[in-house]
Amino acid sequence: MNRPVLLVVAHGSRDPRHAATVQALVRRAGALRPGLRVETAFLEFSLPSVTGVLERLAAEGVRDVVALPLLLTRAFHAKADIPAVLRQAPPSLRIRQAEVLGPSPLLISAVERRLYEAGLTPSDKSATGVVLASAGSTDPEAIAVIAETARELRRTGWCSVRPAFASASLPRTEEAVRALRAEAGVRRVAVAPYVIAPGRLPDRIAAGAAGADVLADVLGPSPELAALLVERYEDALRVSERAAAAAG
């Protein structure tokens, strides 16, 4: 039996770097499971669209799809936008929506990877404050998840970790940088963008990091993120199998 197609649903951006980064991540995830068909679609700005990919899959005779939101938190896109567009799929398709990526220990590892790639080392942790800078949301659940992720990152040994947001929420990146500068024991400040791909909001994070000592890259096609895509796909299949067994 063919495994369900993995459809990775990204937000999309007018910035071409966004789609290129998403595609690189999806290719890396697909390489972890040879034989698994992986497709990419975007909610807006970029092509292909979610509707277009679903219609193409149905026309090809595909019957089962796992739609994976390429999102770090369960905010409006995961709760409303993606379910709405999935409901417009051809009726021949059986679609299961996987959970969003966060929270996960793999995301903490990906953040640390980017910090080390930016020049820090594990020995720098005890004197380095980190701004965990996300895109931002008005959703209380999403904000709480970012705050908890910052606490989890702090537990790995960094001197201090403060969440920040590029939009919708406070504090902004530059405010968190200033706050860390004032903390006792913080000898250097690093900004870790907690975003998947480049775009307008990551650029805003980078601008706000002007007063920091270190600016890490976006999470991008990191091995940890690629592994997490596969993990969420397989989690969705297990949930579906358990539900089917309980019903039967």
pLDDT at 103: 97
Give the residue among 112, 132, 118 at the shortest CA–CA distance from 195.
132
Say how many C-beta atoms besides its own lie within 10 A of residue 147's C-beta: 13
167-187 burial by CB neighbour count: b if 16+ within 10 A, else e? eebebbbbebbebbeeeeebe
**What is the rounded CA–CA span in Å between residue 56 and residue 105?**
35
- 199-227 tens-digit pLDDT: 999 999 999 999 999 999 999 999 999 99
Q: Are 67 and 7 in contact (CB under 8 A)?
A: yes
Q: Residue 51 has which token pair?
A: 């509707």
**What is the rounded CA–CA span in Å between residue 227 and residue 248?**
32
Length of the chain measured in residues: 248
Its pTM surpasses 0.75: yes
Per residue of the chain (248 residues), what is the pLDDT tens digit?
589 999 999 999 999 999 999 999 999 999 999 999 999 999 999 999 999 999 999 999 999 999 999 999 998 888 989 999 999 999 999 999 999 999 999 999 999 999 999 999 999 999 999 999 999 999 999 999 999 999 999 999 999 999 999 998 899 999 999 999 999 999 999 999 999 999 999 999 999 999 999 999 999 999 999 999 999 999 999 988 887 777 76
pLDDT at 242: 80
pLDDT at 110: 98
Q: Which residues contact 68 (CB under 8 A, 6 or more apart)?
A: 6, 7, 8, 9, 97, 98, 229, 232, 233, 236
Q: Find the distance separating the first CA and the last CA of the chain, reported in whole Å.
A: 20
**What is the rounded CA–CA span in Å between residue 233 and residue 69?**
10
